[in-house]
């Protein structure tokens, strides 16, 4: 009985919950409906809503809705024509039913008919129904567009606003095609009401976001920009949202908005709360407009006009001063509005990164928020200070708050705030405070949330490596890291410590001693066993003189962990054992017994079994000299970018690793980890011991490597901020002779992709510039030039010389016309600013003569007849050369087709040979070309023969194509 009663009570509670949820849904749907006043007189709608609310169950509601739907359907299909009031009432009921979650499949035509009404309430319901229920693929869209056009041309501001709202709500491409050219005219017209201008600006913004290619401002640009001077603040607020979006895509077209935005911002900032009464929010004048103005200015570099820049600096100083003033209200809305403007102003100061006084003041202001009782303010302050730490002007000011940030890391209750605190510690770290910050981060790791442990481990590993002047400290830190958070130490971390120990002679003995002591702990993480096995196998002899760490003691310590480890770790330990036999011959018998046991040579895992068998045989039959040669110490690892740093970049996203490292190199003179102590031979024989992260030896971006030992470029290197060499980079040029799409150039900052198509003597090339960092490139400019005689041979046209900011990706189109045959290629020059330094890059664009080939099909007889006709010495070019790539048949065919010629089958008597034919299309003439490629697989050689109808073209093609095979 008790169980039955409990079940009944539970069922009753569930039923009550369903009733509450049902009532809540009804209230929500009713709230979304237009207000039904006595003047509207839609009593039937009010009764229907009341009936729905009074339904006791879902079944009763569905029954009432079905009854109403049947009634509405019969009214719409009846012989008697309905008046506007009835249509409005029934359409409103359908809309209410739809908002309750039921499908509506009729009534659309009646809603469209309401659009032609002259009564506001009827037209409003019609537009509301269409905005909610009509999709962009509807057959009625043409009728709707006609009704909207009529309302837009009616000059009735109420009807115009309803039409604009409908366009924005639907926002389809069809709507954009129909009205994108009409709305700008309404927006800038002198006789347009202010309320209509606001709606037009926001409607245009919606269409631009959905179909940017259809919204072309053109002649309206300057007039739209001058809306920033409009007397009506609502118009300015709406217009600035549109201008900001347009400026992000076309900064040059709208650059005149900067001075107007500064002027408007100055008037707002200097005004009292009583000056803008209608737009003052809790004693803060026009906070939304101020934030939008500051955000718009972040789309551009600092103003070049001294007067405008001075006025803007004055505005920013005023905003910072107002933040120090006592609040005029205790309401949270007042502080929110005030702080919103302040944070946008600080973002603009950080974006400009050119005013040391403002940067330091911004840092001090953010420092006050670090101990604010509001969690969101603390979070935003930490986030902004992370960016400030990357500026050379404010880095020292950020460091003064280190104790507060460490305290936040330890005591904050919100995990997201703790994560931002860890990010800030990482960003403010330099040589002066590295040990303190690493120690604090290690301490926090023991109690850190699991969600951020892996990232914390990577950051600790990077900082320990970057600022390790004392390598014993580095080894201690990494081993402590493995001990505290071994599960979150990725392979990159322990790989890196192995590389550094192997490359540093002075730390090998200390590392062997330290790892030996760490392995003696009862509970030892598997990553510690990996590091221990590797280091003791290589350098265990350095501590073997101590009886406490004799060879047998070392072996027994490692082997005691063997049965607890995974297969890859066991394989590593077996390799350490065979190294022990080479280092310590006295351990040979003991280790051979281990290798000989059934658990090794008959192991179910083939890798372990093979190692055991091979190592056992090697130790048995090889002489001491052979064993020493096979098992000699690992050579130093080549220099390269830190794999840990690469992993953190991948985890956080491009550019997310703090740019502080870049600035540190500038401040520290680029000498990292004691690299200045190296001898004179360091230039010819680069050693990782002088540069853990591979920073100092990095070549400038875009420059050729200085030697075989030169490193890949590191974004965070000193070279990354210097002016890069403008020498022509043609590394990717030859890769595009046989293909049209791919990546032309890539480094840690920028990726340039190409997609091209050619037809007869015309070509079109799409250039994609991908910003791989998290910050925009300033002053990003691109130009195309044709050196020397190339100007008369090839004509690049329609290339928009871009100048502005480069965010995630921008695209440019280059149209090319081939006037006559040519040798050289056009040059693409790219300049931009990143991290305070100018990057200058010049690339060869892959426009080659073969791109204008027209494939020509020929029979065998025609081919050789034409071949004999092209017998003049200047018409033929031949080259015999060694194969540079695989001689695979399918690869060769793909490359020959990629040249643009037609690959002719069954033409050459030797089936191993390849024969091609094509015509080069230029504006002045057509040049016939025949190609014969004869591969010799045994000798790995080719003979390439070309004959062309124009002198010297065959030689140019032969030189170009020989590099492809």
Q: Which residues define the annotated binding site?
A: 43-44, 75, 85, 89-93
Structure tokens at 833: 């600013």
Helix (H) or strand (E) holding 932: strand 926-936
Q: How far apart are CA 796 and CA 948, in angstroms?
A: 25
Q: Which token pair is 769?
A: 């510039």
Tell how strand 837-844 and strand 728-729 pair up. Answer: parallel
The alpha carbon of residue 67 and the mean position of all alpha carbons in its chain are separated, in whole angstroms, by 54
Name the nearest CA neighbour of 933 among 900, 906, 958, 960.
Answer: 958
Query: How far apart are the C-alpha atoms of 387 and 303, rounded to whole Å?
Result: 22
Residue 428 burial by Cβ neighbours in a 10 Å radius (0-12, 13-18, 19+): buried
Measured in degrees and rounded to the nearest 5, phi and psi for residue 825 equal -120, 150
170: left (phi over 0), alpha (psi -120 to 50) or beta: alpha
Instruction: Answer whether 686's CB lies under 8 Å from 710's CB.
Output: yes
Q: 3-class secondary structure for 52-112? A: HHHCCCHHHHHHHHHHHHHHHHHHHHCCCCCCHHHHHHHHHHHHHHHHCCCCCCCCHHHHH
Q: What residues contact residue 171 under an 8 Å CB cut-off, 6+ apart?
A: 206, 207, 209, 210
Cα-Cα-Cα-Cα dihedral sign, residues 414, 416, 418, 420: negative
Sign of the Cα torsion 640, 646, 648, 649 reads positive
Give dist(CA 360, CA 398) in Å, integer: 8
Half-sphere exposure of 598 (CA within 13 A, CB side): 0
Whose tokens are 């200015």? That residue is 297
Q: 3-class secondary structure for 45-65? A: HHHHHHHHHHCCCHHHHHHHH
Q: What interhelical angle do 157-170 and 141-152 show, nearest 10?
A: 150
Structure tokens at 732: 């990717």
Phi, then psi, of 905 in degrees rounded to 5: -95, 150
- Report residue 832: phi and psi, to 5°: -160, 165
| Tokens at 370, concatenated | 């670090």
Helical spans, DSSP H, in 171-256: 173-179, 183-188, 194-210, 221-225, 233-249
Q: Report the chain's terminal Cα–Cα distance, integer Å.
A: 89
**DSSP category for residue 812:** E
Exposure letters 483-495 (e unless 16+ CB within 10 A, then b): bbbbebbbebbbb
């Amino acid at each position: 009985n008790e169980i039955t009663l409990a079940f009944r009570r539970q069922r009753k509670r569930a039923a009550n919950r369903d009733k509450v949820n049902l009532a809540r849904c009804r209230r929500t749907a009713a709230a979304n409906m237009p207000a039904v006043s006595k003047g509207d007189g839609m009593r039937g709608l009010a009764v229907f809503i009341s009936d729905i609310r009074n339904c006791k169950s879902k079944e009763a509601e569905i029954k009432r809705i079905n009854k109403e739907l049947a009634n509405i359907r019969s009214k719409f299909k009846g012989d008697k024509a309905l008046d506007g009031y009835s249509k409005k009432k029934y359409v409103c009921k359908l809309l209410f039913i739809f908002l309750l979650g039921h499908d509506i499949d009729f009534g659309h035509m009646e809603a469209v008919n309401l659009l032609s009404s002259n009564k506001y309430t009827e037209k409003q319901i019609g537009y509301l129904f269409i905005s909610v229920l009509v999709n962009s693929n509807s057959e009625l869209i043409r009728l709707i567009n006609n009704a909207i056009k009529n309302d837009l041309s009616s000059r009735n501001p109420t009807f115009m606003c309803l039409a604009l709202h409908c366009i924005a709500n639907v926002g389809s491409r069809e709507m954009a095609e129909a009205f994108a050219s009409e709305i700008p005219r309404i927006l800038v017209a002198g006789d347009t009401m202010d309320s209509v201008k606001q709606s037009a600006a926001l409607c245009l913004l919606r269409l631009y976001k959905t179909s940017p290619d259809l919204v072309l401002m053109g002649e309206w640009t300057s007039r739209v920009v001058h809306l920033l001077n409009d007397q009506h603040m609502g118009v300015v607020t709406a217009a600035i949202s549109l201008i900001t979006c347009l400026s992000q895509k076309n900064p040059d077209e709208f650059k005149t908005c900067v001075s107007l935005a500064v002027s408007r911002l100055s008037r707002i900032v200097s005004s009292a709360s009583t000056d803008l009464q209608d737009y003052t929010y809790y004693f803060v004048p026009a906070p939304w407009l101020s934030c939008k103005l500051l955000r718009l200015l972040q789309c551009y570099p600092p103003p070049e006009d001294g007067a405008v820049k001075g006025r803007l600096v004055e505005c920013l100083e005023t905003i910072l001063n107002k933040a120090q003033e006592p609040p005029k209200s205790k309401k949270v809305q007042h502080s929110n509005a005030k702080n919103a403007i302040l944070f946008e102003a600080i973002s603009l100061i950080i974006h400009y990164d050119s005013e040391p006084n403002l940067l330091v003041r911004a840092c001090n202001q953010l420092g006050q928020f670090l101990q604010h009782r509001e969690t969101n303010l603390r979070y935003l302050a930490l986030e902004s200070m992370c960016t400030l730490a990357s500026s050379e002007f404010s880095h020292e000011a950020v460091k003064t708050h280190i104790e507060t940030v460490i305290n936040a890391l330890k005591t904050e209750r919100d995990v997201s705030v703790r994560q931002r605190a860890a990010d800030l510690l990482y960003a403010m770290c330099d040589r002066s405070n590295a040990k303190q910050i690493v120690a604090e981060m290690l301490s926090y790791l023991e109690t850190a949330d699991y969600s951020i442990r892996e990232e914390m481990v990577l950051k600790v590993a990077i900082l320990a490596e970057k600022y390790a002047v004392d390598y014993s400290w580095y080894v201690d830190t990494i081993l402590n890291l493995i001990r505290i958070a071994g599960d979150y130490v990725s392979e990159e971390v322990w790989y890196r410590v192995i590389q550094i120990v192997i490359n540093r002679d002075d730390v090998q003995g200390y590392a062997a001693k330290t790892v030996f002591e760490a392995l003696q702990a009862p509970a030892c993480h598997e990553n510690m066993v990996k590091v221990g096995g590797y280091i003791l196998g290589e350098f265990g002899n350095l501590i073997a003189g101590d009886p406490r760490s004799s060879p047998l003691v070392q072996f027994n310590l490692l082997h005691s962990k063997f049965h607890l480890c995974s297969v890859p770790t066991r394989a590593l330990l077996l390799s350490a054992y065979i190294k022990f036999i080479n280092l310590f011959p006295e351990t040979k018998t003991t280790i051979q017994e281990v290798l000989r046991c059934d658990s090794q040579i008959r192991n179910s895992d083939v890798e372990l079994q093979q190692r055991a068998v091979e190592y056992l045989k090697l130790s048995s039959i090889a002489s001491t000299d052979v064993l020493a040669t096979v098992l000699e110490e690992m050579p130093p690892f080549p220099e390269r970018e830190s794999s840990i740093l690469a992993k953190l970049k991948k985890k956080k996203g491009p550019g997310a690793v703090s740019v502080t490292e870049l600035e540190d190199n500038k401040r520290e003179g680029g000498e990292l980890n004691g690299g200045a102590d190296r001898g004179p031979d360091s230039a010819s024989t680069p050693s990782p011991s002088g540069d853990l992260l591979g920073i100092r030896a990095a070549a400038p971006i875009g420059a050729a490597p200085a030697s075989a030992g030169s490193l890949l470029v590191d974004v965070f290197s000193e070279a990354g901020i210097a002016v890069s060499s403008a020498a022509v980079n043609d590394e990717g040029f030859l890769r595009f002779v046989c293909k049209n799409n791919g990546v032309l150039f890539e480094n840690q900052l920028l990726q340039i992709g190409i997609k091209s198509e050619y037809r007869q003597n015309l070509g079109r090339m799409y250039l994609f510039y991908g910003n791989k960092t998290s910050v925009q490139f300033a002053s990003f400019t691109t130009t195309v030039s044709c050196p020397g005689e190339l100007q008369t041979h090839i004509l690049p046209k329609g290339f928009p010389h871009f100048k502005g900011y480069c965010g995630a990706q921008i695209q440019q189109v280059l149209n090319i016309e081939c006037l006559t045959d040519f040798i050289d290629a056009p040059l693409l020059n790219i300049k931009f600013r990143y991290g305070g330094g100018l990057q200058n890059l010049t690339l060869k664009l892959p426009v080659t003569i073969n791109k204008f080939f027209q494939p020509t099909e020929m029979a065998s007889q025609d081919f050789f007849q034409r071949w004999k006709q092209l017998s003049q010495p200047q018409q033929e070019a031949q080259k015999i050369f060694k194969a540079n790539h695989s001689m695979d048949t399918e690869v060769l065919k793909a490359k020959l087709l990629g040249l643009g010629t037609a690959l002719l089958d069954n033409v050459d008597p030797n089936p191993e040979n390849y024969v091609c034919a094509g015509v080069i299309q230029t504006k002045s003439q057509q040049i016939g070309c025949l190609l014969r490629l004869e591969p010799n697989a045994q000798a790995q050689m080719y003979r390439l023969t070309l004959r062309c109808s124009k002198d010297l073209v065959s030689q140019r093609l032969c030189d170009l194509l020989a590099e492809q095979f």
